Structures are given as structure tokens and as C-alpha cells.
Amino acid sequence: MNTEEILGLPLVLPDGVDYAEYLVATYLASFPAEIPIPKLSLALAIEQSTGTWVAVPGETSEVRCQHVAKVMGVYEIPDFEFGVPRSVETRNWIIQIAFPEVNIGEQIPMLLTALVGNISMGGNIKVLDMRFPEKYVAGFKGPKFGIAGVRELLGIPKRPLLNNMIKPCTGYPLEVGAELFRKAAMGGCDIIKDDELIADASFNSVQGRVKRYMELEKEVYEETGEHTLYTVNITDKVPKVFENAKRAVELGCNALMINYIAVGLPIMQALTEDPNINVPILAHMDVAGAMYMSPLHGLSSHLVLGKLPRLAGADVVVIPAPYGKAPVIADKFQNVAKNLTFPLYHLKPSFPMASGGITPSMVPKAMGDLGTDIVIGSGGGIHAHPQGPVAGGKAFRQAIDATMQGISLEEYAKEHPELATALKEWVDPFASFGF
């Protein structure tokens, strides 16, 4: 077999890949023992690049040399060598396929089309990871502010930030939301966001909330000396989502929020890269579970919640934390945060926002897992505090301060009644859930 024939094969050694020109996808495939996955993987590579289920005249050797995807490796777990036991009914495989960057370009829609695409309908196949060459990531601006930029806006150089989600989630008029916003800000919340379930509602508009909440933000700042970012939920259909964003910025809103999977990653990217939208953007994770929760199908959580929204420019990404009501493994939680914060070419790091039934007692755990470059998000844990939302916010700030100083919450609570009340109220609120 000559060099041209080898180059046209959907097959390559890992050592033979030009990683500057190829994206690498890693898959988990779990299939009945009789299915020959090593052979099938070659068909998948062809299917997701130059060819189809039958040879076609236009798929020339020249086309294949330049554009065919290549299987880098197929590894079975466990790694049978001399025979497969008769008792084995299902065989599990790790498959790595290299995709020519030229096929995809510097964009997310074709990335998902090529690396996930029809493979997602092929049974128990899950995308475990994606490795990007620098030339691919160079096509993205990434977070406009990132961790350092958000900290600079708020004047908070080191400690974790505190976020409050206004509760109830939806159904309340502007006057009710405004009072909840004021109390949460007075309690020391650095960021206050709309719940994902309220956007430009007929009973409570984006424009109305921005005008009133930003008036309150100024009033609270004059009283406390602390600024609050308000992330108004601009989620909507196209083009209204862009209209919502631009109108909110024109009215003085200092941050935005978007349900990024519901509207689509390219929509969020267009917003984050718009020079006229010069405020941080918080990305909410709703719908994400439909993409990553299956152990055998979809994409891994660190892609859906971490690498992809960071690529699309999110400054803060809401992620489920393993301490509250969210069913998530601690290692997965930390891996998502790693994909948001570790070096990724030129992209700034994004803030991971631990969320999902968080109470003050969970603050040391969250900081122990992720450090201080974290946003701690709480809705009910602030608004349902027995002494009200102001006390709820203070209890969280006290928990953060105690942890920063290396003091146990129980010790710190002796001189801080808001924290003491919270610790007594929520010992382990989700113990009955089995998380």
C-alpha cells in the first residue's frame, strides 16, 4: 500500500495525526458483543466526513486524503487479548476519531454536526471529550470579561462571589420582584439574577425590571458601598433575544443572562462578541441534562456545561453542585469547573456558579472543591431564611468570610446570628433525596 492509499484511509496512528489541523473526539461505545466495533468505527469516521453507507463517485482518493476523518484508536474495557468470554454480552469501547479542522471551520454548529451528528442516533455512543487545535479556538473571542473582569467590575479581588436567584421563579409582578431584589442586595449579594423561568413576561417585562432594579442597585450602593450585578434574563426567540439584550444595555443594565442551550450556543456567541453589549453574560444550564445525563448517550457534562459555553463566551456559567438538590457526582462537578477555568489557549476563564439548593452550610464544601474563583448561587437559601432575604444574604456572606479565615461555621455563628439561624434551619435539607 503506497503513501497516498494510506493517507486516504479512515485510519491513523495517534503519532501520525497533525494535531494542529485536526479536532479529536473521544467516544464511549457500548454494544452487544457480536457487533465488530473496530470495523464499525471506520464506517462512522467516513459517515461523519466524506462518505456514506455506499461508495460514491465523488469520494475520490484526493478528497479522502484531505477530508476523511480518521480513527486514531479503538480500545476495549476490559482489554481482552486472547478471547472474549462467552459470558460477555456487552462490550465497552473507547473510540478516538480525528476530524480535519478544514471540514468544520471555526464555528460551533458544524462542530456538533461533525463530532456528534448522526453518531448520536447510532445507539449507545457518548461523546466523552473534544480536543481542539489552536487554529479552531482562534476563531472564538471567548469570555469578554471572564473571572478577572467580573471581579474588577465589582471590586472584589479574592473572595467567592454570592449570587441570588429571585424566588419565586415566575408569576410575580414587578413590585414584588423589586422588593426581593432590594433585600437580596442589602444582604450582600454580589450578583442577582432572574430565574430561568421568567424572561420578557406579559406580567413582568424585561424593560420594567431593568429600569426598577437598576434604580435600586444605585440606592443600595449608596447605602452599603457594594455594587450588584443584575443579570436580566433576555432569553427569547430570534430576533427578539437580540432586541432584549440591546434594550437592556441601553437602559443601564450591568449584566445579562441567557438560557444558552434553549436558544443555542451560536446565539449566545453572537451576543458575547457584539461590541455594543459590553456587560458580562451569565449562561444558565437549563435543558443541559437532556444532553449529558445518560451514562451511555449524548455528551459529557464538562462539554455541555464547561468547554462549549466558555468557547461561546459566557463569563459565568451556572452548574449543578453535588451538595444540594442536584444529582451530580462530585468528580464531574469539579471537571466541569476545570473546563471553565483551566488554560485553554487565549480564552479567559469563566466563573463556575455552583447552584441547586445551596445553603450556607455547603459553602466550605464548595470552596474546598473549587477554591475561591467561584460564584455561590442560592435562591431559596436566601429568600426562605427565617429572618428574611437580608438575613439570608448575610448568612452566606458570613459563611464565606468564615471559610476565607479558616474558621468553622459553627464557631463563626456564635457571634453572627444570621448564620446561626441558617445552620439551625438547614442541617441537611436534601438528606431524604439520597444525594
The set of catalytic residues is: 167, 284
The answer to whether the beta carbons of residues 349 and 341 sit under 8 Å apart is yes
| The three cell numbers locating residue 185 | 442586595
DSSP E strands: which ranges in 102-226?
125-131, 161-165, 191-193
Q: What is the dihedral of CA 315, 319, 321, 325, to 10 degrees?
A: 130
CB atoms within 10 A of CB 242: 16
Rounded Cα–Cα distance for residues 391 and 342 (Å): 35
Cell 452599603 belongs to: 224
The answer to whether the beta carbons of residues 138 and 352 sit under 8 Å apart is no
Cis peptide before 239 (omega within 30 of 0): yes
Which residues touch 131 (CB under 8 Å, ≥6 apart)? 19, 23, 24, 25, 26
Q: Is 161 exposed, middle or buried (0-12, 13-18, 19+ CB in 10 A)?
A: buried
Rounded Cα–Cα distance for residues 321 and 375 (Å): 11
Rounded Cα–Cα distance for residues 144 and 150 (Å): 10
Rounded Cα–Cα distance for residues 43 and 74 (Å): 13
